[in-house]
Structure 1
Amino acid sequence: MKIPIKMTLTAIGILILLFLVIILFNVSSFNNTIKKEKSLLFDSKSIPVEKISEADLEHLPELMKNYLIKAQIIGKSKYCNVTFSQKGTIKTDPKKGWISFTAVQYMSSKNPGFIWKARALPMLIRDKYIDQKGEVKISLLGLKDVASLGPEVDQSSLGRYFGELIWFPIGFLDPDIIWKQIDTTKVKGTITKGDLSLTGYFYFDETGMIKSFSTQRYRDTTLEDFIAEAGEYQNYDGLLIPNKMTAIWNLKGEKFEYFKADIVSCELTETIP
Structure 2
Amino acid sequence: MRGHIRLGAWRKFDAVQVRAPMEGFVWSATAWIGPLAVRGFDRYRAGEGEMRWRLLHLLPIMSGTGPDITESAAGRLACELVMAPAAALDPRVRWKPVDDHQVIATVPIGAKEHDVTLCVAPTGALTRVTMKRWGNPDKGTFGRHTFGIECAGEATFDGFTIPSRVRGGWWPGSERWDQGEFIRFDVQEAQFR
TM range (shorter): 0.7 to 0.9
Write the mapping of 1:1-273 to structure 2, written as runs, cut at 5 A: 86-92=1-7, 96-109=8-21, 112-121=23-32, 122-145=37-60, 146-220=62-136, 221-250=142-171, 253-255=175-177, 256-269=180-193
Q: Which amino acid aligns with 1:155?
A: E
Q: CA deviation at 1:200?
A: 1.6
Supply the distance in 2 between the matched residues of 1:139 and 1:194 (Cα, whole angstroms). Answer: 28
- TM-score w.r.t. structure 1 length? 0.60
The 1-side partners of 2:91 and 2:56 are apart by 40
List per-residue Cα deviations over 1:173-216 (Å, max 9, x = no partner): 23332221111111112222332222121111101232111111
Contact map agreement 1:176 1:193 (CA 8 A) in 2: no
Task: Please give the alpha-carbon distance, in whole angstroms, between the structure 2 residues aligned to 1:249 and 1:160.
Answer: 12
Which protein is richer in strand relative to its size? 2
Check the 8 A contact 2:81/2:88 in 1, yes or no: yes
Higher helix proportion (structure 1 or 2): 1
Aligned residues: 180
The higher relative CO (CA closer than 8 Å, separation ≥ 6) is in 1
Partners of 2:147 and 2:127 lie apart in 1 by: 14
Measure how far apart 1:268 and its partner are.
2.4
> What 5-or-longer segments of structure 2 have no aligned partner?
137-141
Gaps of 5+ in 1: 1-85
Structure 2 Cα separation of the partners of residues 207 and 150 of structure 1: 42
Inter-CA distance 105–263: structure 2 relative to 1 (3 Å threshold): same
Shift of residue 171 of structure 1?
A: 1.8
**Comparing 172-181 with 208-217, which one deviates more in the overlay?**
172-181
